[in-house]
Structure 1
Amino acid sequence: MNSAGHSEATAHRGLELTPFRGLRYDPDRVGSLAAVTSPPYDVVVRPDGVLHLESADPYNIVRLILPQAPTAAARNEQAAKTLRRWLSEGVLAADPRPGLYVYEQRDGDGMLQRGVIGALRVTDPAEGLVLPHEDVMPHIVADRADLMRATSANLEPLLLTYRGNGSTTDTTAIIERTAEQPPLLSTTTEDGFSHRLWSITDPAEQSRIQADLAGHQALIADGHHRWATYRRLRAEHPSPSPWDHGLVLLVDTARYPLRVRAIHRLLHGLPVAEALKPLDDLFRVRHLEVPLPEALDALADAAGAGNAFLLAGDGTFHLVDEPDPDLLARTVPADRPAAWRTLDATVLHATLLDHIWHIPEDSPAHIAYIHDTAATVSKAEHDGGTAVLMHPVHEEVVRDLARQGVTMPRKSTSFGPKPASGLVLRTLDL
C-alpha cells in the first residue's frame, strides 16, 4: 500500500468509466449555450482570446478555467468563488441522475465525432491502460492541480481515444441509438461546429458500455497535463474518494477518426535571419515567395521525404529540410526507437532548439506553443520572432510509440476536434 492508500490499484483491470451527475448551464440563465463555451484552456493562449470569451457572456466558462487575477493564488480563489456563486444562483445545476454522456460534434465539412463522457478511474502508468504520448511541463501540472483543488471540480473533459474493432460494438450501438433521441442540449459555436449532448441514465446500458470499455486501453489525445494533474490529486487523497476519477471524453477512432494537426512553435526574441544563419551546410534552406497555403503544401511534400520545417516571421517563408545525417547522429539520442528518432518534433527539439538555437523548450519567455497556423505566423511577424511551422504526425505512429512506453516531445500533436469546455462539468462534492 502506498501513502495515499491505493492498495487496490493493481487489482483493477481495464478502463473503468463511472456515471456522474453532470453540472450544466441552465439555458434560461445565460445568453446562449454557445456564448458560455470555450476551447480547452491550453488552446486559449492569448489574453485577447480570454477577453473575447469573457465578453461573449458574463458566465463564460473561461472565467473558471482561466481566471484573471494578479497572482496564482488569487486566480484560483476567484475561480472557486465564481463557481460557488454560479451554483448558488442556479446558473449551473447538477443533473438529477448520474449518467454517462453521449457527446457529438459535427462541422460543415462532413466531420462527425461521437464519444462518451464519464468519470474514468485514474490509473498508474504501470497498468498500461491510459497511454500518454507526450511529456508534460511540471509548472503547468502544478497550476492545474491548484485550480482543481480550489474549485473541487473537473472543469473540462480531456480527450482519450481507443480503437474498437471497426464494427458496431455495444458502446457504438448505444451511442448511435441515443443520438437518434432529442438531446439535452444543442448549440453551434462560432467555429462552425455543432454540439449535442445526451445522458444515458439506464443502469443496464451503462453496464454494457462499462463492460465494453473494460477490454480496451486508451491513448491521451488531448489533455496530458490534466491527466497528470488527476494522478497527482489522486495520490494526495486516501482512496476511495472522488479524486480516484477524472472527467474524460472517450472516442472510438476506428468508428470516428480524429483529425491530427501539428502544434507550431513561436520563438520569442529570435528574428528569422538569426534563426537561419547557423543552418548553412546543416540543412537545405529554400525561400518561398508564396501564400501560406502553398507554403504548407511544400512543407507537406518535403515532410513526406524526411524532416522538414517551415520558418516564417519576416514576411516570407523558408522551407528547412534535408538535415545533415552526421548532425542528427550527434544530437538525437540513440536510445529510442527509430520512429521516435525520426520525428520532426524530435529533430526540432534535440537538434534545432537544444543544439543550434540554444532555446529552452520549457521557458515561456523563449518559446510559445500555438495551434493556429496563421496566428503563429502573424504573431511572429508582429513581434519580430520566428514561427516554426510543423507537419502533423499520423495517429498510428503516436499510438505505436505510446504502446512502447515512448513519449514524444511535448506539444507534438493536436488531435481534434477537441471537446468544447462548458457543456458538462464534474464537481467532486456531489
Structure 2
Amino acid sequence: MAKVIPFQAVRYNTERFGKDLARFVAPPYDVIDGVMERRLKEDRLNITHITLGDENDKYTIAARRLKTWFDDGVLVKDPDSCFYIYEQTFSTPGGEPRVRSGIVAAVKLEDFSRGIIMPHEKTIPKHKADRMLHMCAMSGNTEQIFLLYDDPTEGVEAILSDARKREEVLRFVDPEGVHHRIVKVSEPELVSKISKLLEPAKLLIADGHHRYETALEYRNTMRAKDNTKEGSMPYDYIMGTLISFRNRGLVVFPTHRLITEVDPKLIQKLPKALEEEFMLKKMHGPDELAEAVERSPVPAFGVWIPASRTYLHATPKDKEKSEDPMQDLPVFMVQERVLKRFLGYTSEMIDTKVNIEYVKGTSPTKYAMASGEFQACFFVKPPSVEQVMAVAEAGQKMPHKSTYFFPKIWSGTLLYLFDR
C-alpha cells in the first residue's frame, strides 16, 4: 500500500515577498537550456541557483546559499504538517481551457520490485550521478516529482474541487501563460481522509525518474549508515505531486525525433525499407503529416525527409493489437524498428543524444525549420495515459523521452528538506 503523508514544506517567505512568486520559480532542472538558465539567474533569489548551482563545486556552494537564505528569512518552514494542493490552469494548443490539480505530499519510497510505485521510462546513469551529488549537498528535495494514481471513486478529486475555493498561499503565471496556485490542507480529519483514500493506490512515476531512483539510493546509503528502521526517517520519503489519471486536466504531448549526421544513403533508402513493415501514405507537407499522425485512430508515426520533400504517414501492416503493450507504441516503433534497424542507431547513441534531438510539443515543424540542418524528422503520436499505465504494470520501461506531461510541475514552490 502507498504511504502518503503530510509534511512541513519549506517555501519562499510570502509575508516578505508577497504571494506572487513569478520571479523566484523555474521549470524542472532538466528542461532548462542555457539561455533560459541565464535569464532565470538574473534574479539572485531564483530557485535555479539551488536546483542547478552556479560555479565549480556548484552544489556545495548552492547548499551554502540555501543556508544563507534560511538565515536571512528568504525561505521559511511551515509550522504544521500539511498536504498542499497544486492547481494549474491552462489552455491546450487547440484553445480548450483545462484545470489540473493534485496533492503535494511526502510519499514513502518503495523499491520497484514491490509494485507499489512503478516507473515507465529508462534512466541514464550519468544523470542520476548528478542528482545524487545535488541531493547529498541539499539533504532533501528541492523539486517535486510527478506521480499518477487511479481514483476510481473520485474521492480525492472531490476534495480537490472543494479546495479550489480556498485562498492560495502562493501563485504565479509562467511564460507559457499557465496559472499556478497552491493552497494548504491542514485540518486533521481532512488530512487523514486524503491519506486513507490514497492508501490502496499504485503510483506511476510520470516525471522525475532520475530523482526517484536517486532518492532510493540516498535512502539506502543513509539507512545503512544510521542503522534505522524502515519508514522512520525523513529520507524514507520523497516530495511528489500526485494527480489522478482520471483528472480532466491531464495532457500528454508528443516528443518528436530530429535526425542528423546519418549516412545519406541510408536516408535515401529509408522509404523503401519502411515498406517492408509499414503501410505508407504520402502527405503534401510537414504540417499535414503532423496533424494526420496526431489524429490517427491507430498507432502511427510520420517521416519527414526535407532533402527529398518526402512526407510519409506510417502505420503497421500487422493490424492485430499485440499482447505486449510496448509493441503498439509509436515511439517504440520509431526507436526499435526504424532508428536501430534501418539507420544504424544503438541504445547508447539514443540515450546520450548522439545524432538525435528530441522536440517536445505539438509544433515540431516550426522548431525543426528553426533548428537548421537535419536529415529526417519523425513525428510520433503520444501514448495515452492508459498505455503508459499498461507498460508500467507489465514491468517494462518505455524508450527515453517517450512522454511529455504538460504543464510541468514547477520548482521553487515547495521544498522538502530533511534537516530543517
Match of 2:292 among 290, 295, 298: 298
- In 1, Cα distance between equivalents of 2:61 and 2:362: 33
Match of 2:336 among 347, 350, 356: 350
The alignment yields a C-alpha RMSD, in angstroms, of: 2.8
- In 1, Cα distance between equivalents of 2:350 and 2:59: 26
Match of 1:40 among 28, 52, 55: 28
- In 2, Cα distance between equivalents of 1:315 and 1:78: 51
Match of 1:124 among 106, 111, 132: 111
CA shift at 1:383, angstroms?
4.1
Alpha-carbon distance change, 344 to 58 in structure 1, aligned in 2, over 3 angstroms: same
Residue in 1 that maps onto 2:312: 319
- In 2, Cα distance between equivalents of 1:23 and 1:376: 41
CA shift at 1:307, angstroms?
3.6
- In 2, Cα distance between equivalents of 1:314 and 1:427: 52
Q: Indicate the larger mover: 274-283 or 118-127.
A: 274-283
- In 1, Cα distance between equivalents of 2:265 and 2:367: 17
Deviation by residue 1:244-299 (Cα, 9 ceiling, x = unmatched): 1001001123244511111222334348886344442334666655363x331122
Equivalent residue letter for 1:191 = E
- In 1, Cα distance between equivalents of 2:329 and 2:186: 44
Residue in 2 that maps onto 1:133: 120
Alpha-carbon distance change, 409 to 25 in structure 1, aligned in 2, over 3 angstroms: same
SS for the counterpart of 1:364 is: coil
Residues 1:369 and 2:358 aligned together: yes
- In 2, Cα distance between equivalents of 1:351 and 1:107: 36
SS for the counterpart of 1:264 is: strand
Residue in 2 that maps onto 1:10: none
- In 2, Cα distance between equivalents of 1:26 and 1:286: 57
Match of 1:220 among 194, 200, 205: 205
Alpha-carbon distance change, 323 to 207 in structure 1, aligned in 2, over 3 angstroms: closer
Alpha-carbon distance change, 307 to 203 in structure 1, aligned in 2, over 3 angstroms: same
CA shift at 1:343, angstroms?
1.6
Alpha-carbon distance change, 63 to 365 in structure 1, aligned in 2, over 3 angstroms: farther
Alpha-carbon distance change, 47 to 375 in structure 1, aligned in 2, over 3 angstroms: farther
Q: Indicate the larger mover: 59-68 or 106-115.
A: 59-68
Q: Is the 8 A contact 1:258 1:416 kept in 2?
A: yes
Residues 1:400 and 2:387 aligned together: no
- In 2, Cα distance between equivalents of 1:346 and 1:366: 18
SS for the counterpart of 1:33 is: coil
- In 2, Cα distance between equivalents of 1:204 and 1:195: 26
Q: Indicate the larger mover: 30-39 or 408-417.
A: 30-39
Residue in 2 that maps onto 1:331: none
Describe how 1:183-202 pairs up with structure 2 within 5 A. 183-202=168-187
Deviation by residue 1:173-227 (Cα, 9 ceiling, x = unmatched): 3333322121111222221111111112222221111111111111111111211
Residues 1:418 and 2:408 aligned together: yes
Match of 1:264 among 256, 260, 279: 256
Equivalent residue letter for 1:345 = V
- In 2, Cα distance between equivalents of 1:271 and 1:52: 38
SS for the counterpart of 2:183 is: strand
- In 1, Cα distance between equivalents of 2:308 and 2:20: 40
Unmatched 5+ residue regions in structure 1? 1-13, 326-335
- In 2, Cα distance between equivalents of 1:289 and 1:347: 23
Match of 1:378 among 346, 359, 367: 367
CA shift at 1:101, angstroms?
0.6
CA shift at 1:418, angstroms?
2.3
SS for the counterpart of 1:36 is: coil
CA shift at 1:30, angstroms?
8.2
Deviation by residue 1:373-400 (Cα, 9 ceiling, x = unmatched): 5468535753423443321111111112
Alpha-carbon distance change, 310 to 384 in structure 1, aligned in 2, over 3 angstroms: same
Q: Is the 8 A contact 1:264 1:373 kept in 2?
A: no
Deviation by residue 1:286-317 (Cα, 9 ceiling, x = unmatched): 6655363x33112235x534442343666966
Unmatched 5+ residue regions in structure 2? none
Q: Is the 8 A contact 1:313 1:377 kept in 2?
A: no
- In 2, Cα distance between equivalents of 1:155 and 1:316: 46
Residue-pair matches, total: 399
Residues 1:115 and 2:115 aligned together: no
Residues 1:101 and 2:84 aligned together: yes
Q: Is the 8 A contact 1:373 1:389 kept in 2?
A: no
Equivalent residue letter for 1:389 = F
Residues 1:428 and 2:387 aligned together: no
Equivalent residue letter for 1:40 = P
Residue in 2 that maps onto 1:243: 235
Alpha-carbon distance change, 322 to 379 in structure 1, aligned in 2, over 3 angstroms: closer
Residue in 2 that maps onto 1:62: 48
Q: Is the 8 A contact 1:117 1:250 kept in 2?
A: yes
Q: Is the 8 A contact 1:43 1:370 kept in 2?
A: no
CA shift at 1:162, angstroms?
1.0
Q: Is the 8 A contact 2:331 2:381 kept in 1?
A: no
Deviation by residue 1:39-90 (Cα, 9 ceiling, x = unmatched): 222222x2112223223x3322222222344x6xx23223223322222222
> TM-score normalized by structure 2?
0.85
Q: Is the 8 A contact 1:287 1:318 kept in 2?
A: yes
Residue in 1 that maps onto 2:380: 390
